[in-house]
Structure 1
Amino acid sequence: MTETVESRVDAYPTRAGQVQVMPRQDKVVYGSAADGPMDQATLDHYDAKGYLAIDQLVTGEELEEFRAELKRLSEDPTVRADERCIVESTSQEVRSVFDVHKVSEVFKKIAHDPRVVGRAKQLLGSDVYIHQSRVNFKPGFEGKDFMWHSDFETWHAEDGMPGTRAVSISISLTDNYSFNGPLMIMPGSHQEYVSCDAATPDDNYKKSLVMQGAGTPDKTTLTEFADKYGIDVLEGPAGGAIMFDSNCMHASNGNVTPFSRSNIFIVYNSVENTIGEPYAARKPRPEFAGSTDFTPAGASSNA
C-alpha cells in the first residue's frame, strides 16, 4: 500500500520559511570495487569529495557523432517548439533540451551504455533508472550562469525524491576551460544538506529551468560553505566526464568567451529511491523533469 504524503518521514525538510543546515542522512557510496569498473581509490575520492573525474569516457568518433546530433537538435524547429526545449531568457538561444534520451536515438544509446550505467550502479549499489536527461548548450558570448544549488533539494521538494541516493554524470562535448563556464563544485559539501526558506511557486519549473529562484541557498550559507569546503573548478577535455553526488553544492559561471561549453547531463537514481509526491510543492514537475518510469537503465528492453 502506498504511503500517504502525511505519513511519510521527511528526512530533508525544505522551503518551510527557514534555512537549515543539517547532516546528510544517507550513505554516499553503496557499492565496492568488486561491483564495477572503478577501483577503491576512486570510490574513496567520490565518498570524500562528492565527485569524480573520468579523463576520457567516449571515443573521438562518438564525440563527433554527439556534436553533430547536438547541432541537429539546436536547429530543429520541432525540437525548439517542444516544452522540453528551454531557451535563454534574453538571447533566446537554446539553453537545454530535456528528455534527450527519448528525443534522440544517439543520446539514448549513451544513456544506456554500460560505461555509464555500470559506474552509476557501482556508486548506488543497485539497479538505476534515468530520473532526468538533457543536453546543455552554453554558447560562446551568450551562455548564462547556473547559480549555486544542490540538485537534490529541488528533486526532493518538487519531484518527491526521498533520499540522496542519486548521481549525475556530465559528459563534455567541448573542452572545459577555467574561463568558459565549467562546472564548479564545493568538494565535501554533499555531506551537509541545506534547506531553503522560500516556498515553491506553482509551475516553478517554467522559471527555474531558465534561472533558479526557489531552491537557491542564501548567500550567508553559501559563503560559509565556500570558506569551509573551497571551490574546485573542473576543467577537462571534450570526451571526458564528471560524476557527482545529488547533494553536491555546484554552479557554473556565464560564458563570455568565444568558446562554447556543451555537455550531456544524465541523472541516475536508485530503483530503491524512487520518487513519489513532492515534499514541498503542490504538484510534481512534468515527466521530462522528474521521470516516473523506473525501468532499470541498460535493460535489454531499453537498449
Structure 2
Amino acid sequence: MPNALSTPGNRDPYPTRITSPLSPLPRRCPVIHGSTRQRLAGPLDAASLESFDKDGFLWMEGFLSPEEIAPFFDELNAMELDHELTSSDQVITDPDSGAIRSVFAMHELSDRFAALTRHPYLLAIIHQLLGSEAYIHQSRINDKSGFQGSGFDWHSDFETWHAEDGMPRMRAVSASLMLTDNLEFNGPLMLVPGSHRHFIPTVGETPDNNWQTSLQHQRLGVPSEEVLGDLIERHGIVAPKGPAGSLLLFDCNILHASNRNLTPWPRSNLFFVYNSVENSLESPFSGTAPRPEFLASRSDCDTLR
C-alpha cells in the first residue's frame, strides 16, 4: 500500500496487527514538524518545544477557568437525555456499569464544543507542532462516573489510527481538556514519557467492524507485557493531575492508559485529535473497511481557522 514513507517494495513502515511478535521500531517521523521558522513563530517557547519533543506531551494547568468550563456541563447533561443520541453508535457505554463511557464527534454535536476546537491560542500551538494547518480527525468525551468508570488499557492511538483508519504518518496531536478535576485516585491518564519515539507492532488480525467491541474493551493493538515492562522500566510513568480547565497535549504515538475510577468523584475529559491537512487518511493498513466517519473523519477539507 503506497505512501510517502514506504520502504522498497511499498512495505508499510509501521507494520502492526501481524501474526508473530516484532520488536519496537524506531519512529520515522519527526515529533515536531515544519521549518525552524514555523516553530519559532508559534506561542510555545524553546523549552516547551524541547519538552514535547523529548517526552511526547505538555501539561498546561488552568488553561480555562472554572467559569469557562461550567457551560459545557449543561450541554453534556442535555445529551444524556437525548435518547436518539444515546442509542446511536457514536455513544459507547461502560462494559461493566452500562453508564456512558464515550461520546464521539462532540464538535459536530455542539457549537460550543466546535468553537473550542478553534480556540486561537490552542490552534496556534497545534499549527506550531504540526507545521501545517489541521482538521479534527476525531473528537470525544471520555467519562468515568464515580465508583463505576472502567479503565483503558495501554495503547498508542497512532497504532489504531494507522491500522484501522489509514493514517499514514505520526503527524497528529491530541488535546485533552479536563472537564472535572483529575485526581490521583479517580483514574487520571497515565503516559510513558519518551515512548512516542518507537512504534510498537502488535499481534492479531483485525476483524471487520472491530470498533464495535474495541471501544468498550480493547484487545487488539495492545502491546505485550514484555514490551510494556521494558519501556516502563526505562522511561517510567507520569500521570498529569490538576483542576478542571487544565489541558494536556500529547503526541499521537505516546503509550497511555488509565485505571478504573474507584472514587465517588467523576473524571470527565474532552479530547480533540488534530491531524495535519498534509496527513490525509488512506485505506486502513490492516486491510479492513474504514471505520465510521464519527471515529475517523475523512473530511480533511474542513480546515480549522
Same fold (TM over 0.5): yes
2:28 corresponds in structure 1 to 25
3-state SS of paired residue (2:47): helix
Tell me, yes or no, if the aligned pair for 1:176 and 1:236 is still in contact at 8 Å. Answer: yes
AA at the equivalent of 1:240: S
Tell me, yes or no, if the aligned pair for 1:98 and 1:135 is still in contact at 8 Å. Answer: yes
The whole-number CA distance in structure 1 between the counterparts of 2:280 and 2:221 is: 21
1:291 corresponds in structure 2 to 297
2:14 corresponds in structure 1 to 12
Distance change (3 Å), C-alpha of 1:116 and 1:296: farther
2:42 corresponds in structure 1 to 36
> Which stretch has the larger CA shift, 115-124 or 39-48?
115-124
Tell me, yes or no, if the aligned pair for 2:55 and 2:194 is still in contact at 8 Å. Answer: yes
Tell me, yes or no, if the aligned pair for 2:134 and 2:274 is still in contact at 8 Å. Answer: yes
Tell me, yes or no, if the aligned pair for 2:178 and 2:268 is still in contact at 8 Å. Answer: yes
2:147 corresponds in structure 1 to 141
Tell me, yes or no, if the aligned pair for 1:100 and 1:107 is still in contact at 8 Å. Answer: yes
- What is the identity percentage for the equivalent residue pairs of Structure 1 and Structure 2? 43
Deviations 1:139-174 (A, max 9, x none): 111100000000000000000001111100100000
3-state SS of paired residue (2:144): coil
3-state SS of paired residue (1:137): strand
Tell me, yes or no, if the aligned pair for 1:55 and 1:237 is still in contact at 8 Å. Answer: yes
Offset, 1:8: 4.7
The whole-number CA distance in structure 2 between the counterparts of 1:239 and 1:135 is: 14
Aligned pair 1:197/2:199, yes or no?
no
AA at the equivalent of 1:185: L
Aligned-CA RMSD value: 1.7
2:60 maps to which of 40, 54, 57: 54
The whole-number CA distance in structure 1 between the counterparts of 2:88 and 2:122 is: 27
1:248 maps to which of 254, 261, 264: 254
Offset, 1:297: 3.9
Offset, 1:252: 0.4
2:175 corresponds in structure 1 to 169
AA at the equivalent of 2:189: L
Alignment of 1:201-280 (within 5 A): 201-280=207-286
The whole-number CA distance in structure 2 between the counterparts of 1:18 and 1:125 is: 36
1:131 corresponds in structure 2 to 137
Deviations 1:175-195 (A, max 9, x none): 011110001000000001100
1:93 corresponds in structure 2 to 99
Deviations 1:243-263 (A, max 9, x none): 000000000001010010001
AA at the equivalent of 1:264: L
> Which stretch has the larger CA shift, 31-40 or 149-158?
31-40
3-state SS of paired residue (1:149): strand
Structure 1 residue ranges (4+ consecutive) displaced by more than 6 angstroms after TM superposition: none
AA at the equivalent of 2:190: M
Offset, 1:34: 2.5
3-state SS of paired residue (1:231): coil
Q: When the two structures are aligned, how many residues end up with a matched partner?
A: 297
Distance change (3 Å), C-alpha of 1:297 and 1:57: farther
TM-score when scaled to structure 2? 0.93
Tell me, yes or no, if the aligned pair for 1:113 and 1:298 is still in contact at 8 Å. Answer: no
1:157 corresponds in structure 2 to 163
AA at the equivalent of 2:214: S
Tell me, yes or no, if the aligned pair for 2:165 and 2:282 is still in contact at 8 Å. Answer: yes
Tell me, yes or no, if the aligned pair for 1:29 and 1:124 is still in contact at 8 Å. Answer: yes
The whole-number CA distance in structure 2 between the counterparts of 1:127 and 1:228 is: 34
Distance change (3 Å), C-alpha of 1:119 and 1:148: same
The whole-number CA distance in structure 1 between the counterparts of 2:142 and 2:41 is: 31
